[in-house]
């Protein structure tokens, strides 16, 4: 079954790509891969998977009970996973190598839902290039919910099993205005299987947490199809009060890409938690490319994206180098003039006495033994208010 998904003309390239994994240098984005495995979408766009299911994102804000609110937050999080980790495989037949965003690249979009006052807006920015880090802020003012976070990856490769293992750096923070509550959300580790056959896909592993300023904690445990047992995309979760962590209030289990069930540990009753296949994930609306500014993702990558769609290897290289050279030139000019790059909407390592997200993070992180992120990015209302990129 080797490489059955690889177009015949790209088999040679695919084989050398697999061979090059053996001498992996730690930077996935720099590896030359054949066109069939390339995505025409930049990683700055991946932030949208957090809020494609609007009801789940805004739901917690209308839940008066803090315990049930925590359950609603966990449901929203589980609801995001299918989009985050399966959508390329579902829509394009396999996981793909995303475009590596340039410094300052912006991706802006919105879901207008049913009315103009009930919209969810997303601003995503590439805040670092070496190493690549994407930050985002997503909010719905009507419901008073705001999610911000950032992520990068650390990857390693097992040459013997031909698996890419990826740890995510970063975290997300949700704020619910009505209750002035913060939730710290950590990001799952993953690995990429199926490389040998040419149809890679993602599986999640290890644990993540969600911990709230209202005093609840959820521990989520991921597993996949093992050699002897287990099903793809499985997970188990426990929700407990921080005061009494050894006595879970709820337990959840099932498959995050399919169906899961929740059990109320007090009453013993069990019910459907989430059915990922029944949910509709709404695509976000993005300005037509002609109206976008140079730094906006789809505008900047337009030519590369077209070349990827054509599967034209040399055209992809030509168009990519144009962007890379332009970036190199920009960095050179900055250096010559002694200026440093300025982010459009995010602040690096903000002062917790002025940034409520940072303050909440510093309180919540120790509750789940989360190693403090070395560099943190937070959205700045002030910078955004001045930005030319506001929709
Ligand atoms: C980015 C942040 C999102 C969740 C997410 C989903 C899939 C991940 C992606 C993140 C980072 C880049 C990633 C991708 C799957 C494959 C891709 C690890 C974490 C790598 C760079 C591509 C490997 C190349 C093979 C497909 C050949 O919220």
Q: Is 168 in the pocket of ligand 1 (CB under 6 A)?
A: yes
Report the pLDDT value the prediction gives residue 1, as an integer from 0 to 100.
Answer: 47
CB 293 within 8 A of CB 299: yes
User: Does residue 262 line the site of ligand 1, with CB under 6 A?
Assistant: no
Q: Is the CB of 204 under 6 A from ligand 1?
A: no
Threshold 0.90, pTM exceeds: yes
- pLDDT (0 to 100) of residue 29: 82
Which pLDDT score, from 0 to 100, does residue 3 have? 62
How far apart are the CA of 305 and the centre of ligand 1, in A? 17
Task: Look at residue 259 in the predicted model and tell me its pLDDT.
Answer: 98
Per-residue model confidence (pLDDT) at position 31 = 86
Residue 46 CB less than 6 A away from ligand 1:
yes
- Mean pLDDT of each 10-residue bin along the chain, 391 residues long: 79 91 82 93 98 97 98 98 97 96 97 89 97 97 98 90 93 98 98 94 97 98 87 97 97 98 98 96 95 96 97 96 96 95 94 98 96 96 92 74
Sole residue written with tokens 């923070």: 173
Q: What is the largest CA-CA distance in the chain?
A: 68
User: Which residues is 331 bridged to in the sheet?
Assistant: none
Q: Which DSSP letter does residue 282 get?
A: P
The CA distances from residue 237 to 4, 143, 354, in Å, are 36, 27, 34
Q: Please report, in angstroms and rounded to a whole number, the separation of the first and last CA atoms in the chain.
A: 48
Ligand 1: centre distance to CA 189 (Å): 11
Q: Whole-angstrom Cα distance, residue 195 to residue 18?
A: 8
């Amino acid at each position: 079954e080797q490489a059955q998904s690889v177009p015949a003309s790209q088999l040679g390239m695919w084989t050398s790509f697999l061979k090059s994994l053996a001498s992996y240098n730690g930077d996935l984005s720099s590896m030359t891969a054949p066109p069939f495995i390339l995505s025409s979408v930049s990683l700055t766009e991946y932030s949208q998977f957090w809020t494609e299911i609007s009801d789940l994102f805004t739901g917690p804000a209308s839940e008066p009970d803090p315990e049930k609110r925590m359950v609603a937050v966990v449901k929203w999080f589980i609801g995001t996973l299918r989009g985050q980790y399966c959508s390329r495989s579902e829509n394009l037949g396999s996981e793909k190598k995303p475009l590596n965003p340039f410094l300052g690249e912006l991706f802006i979009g919105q879901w207008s839902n049913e009315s103009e006052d009930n919209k969810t807006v997303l601003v995503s920015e590439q805040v670092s290039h070496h190493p690549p880090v994407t930050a985002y802020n997503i909010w719905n003012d009507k419901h008073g919910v705001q999610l911000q976070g950032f992520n990068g990856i650390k990857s390693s490769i097992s040459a013997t099993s031909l698996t890419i293992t990826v740890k995510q750096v970063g975290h997300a923070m949700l704020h619910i205005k009505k209750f002035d509550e913060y939730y710290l959300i950590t990001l799952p580790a993953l690995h990429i299987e199926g490389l040998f056959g040419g149809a890679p896909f993602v599986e999640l592993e290890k644990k993540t947490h969600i911990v709230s300023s209202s005093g609840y904690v959820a521990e989520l445990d991921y597993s996949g199809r093992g050699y002897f047992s287990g099903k793809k995309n499985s997970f188990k979760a426990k929700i407990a009060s921080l005061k009494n962590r050894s006595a879970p209030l709820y337990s959840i289990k099932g498959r995050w890409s399919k169906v899961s069930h929740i059990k109320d540990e007090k009453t013993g009753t069990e019910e459907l938690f989430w059915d990922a296949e029944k949910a509709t994930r709404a695509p976000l609306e993005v300005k037509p490319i002609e109206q976008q500014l140079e730094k906006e993702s789809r505008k900047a990558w337009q030519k590369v994206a077209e070349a990827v769609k054509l599967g034209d290897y040399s055209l992809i290289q030509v168009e990519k180098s144009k962007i890379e050279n332009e970036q190199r030139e920009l960095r050179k000019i900055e250096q010559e003039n002694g200026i440093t790059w300025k982010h459009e909407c995010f602040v690096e390592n903000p002062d917790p006495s002025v940034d409520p997200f940072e303050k909440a993070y510093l309180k919540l992180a120790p509750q789940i033994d989360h190693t403090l992120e070395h560099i943190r990015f937070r959205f700045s209302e002030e910078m955004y208010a001045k930005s030319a990129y506001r929709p």
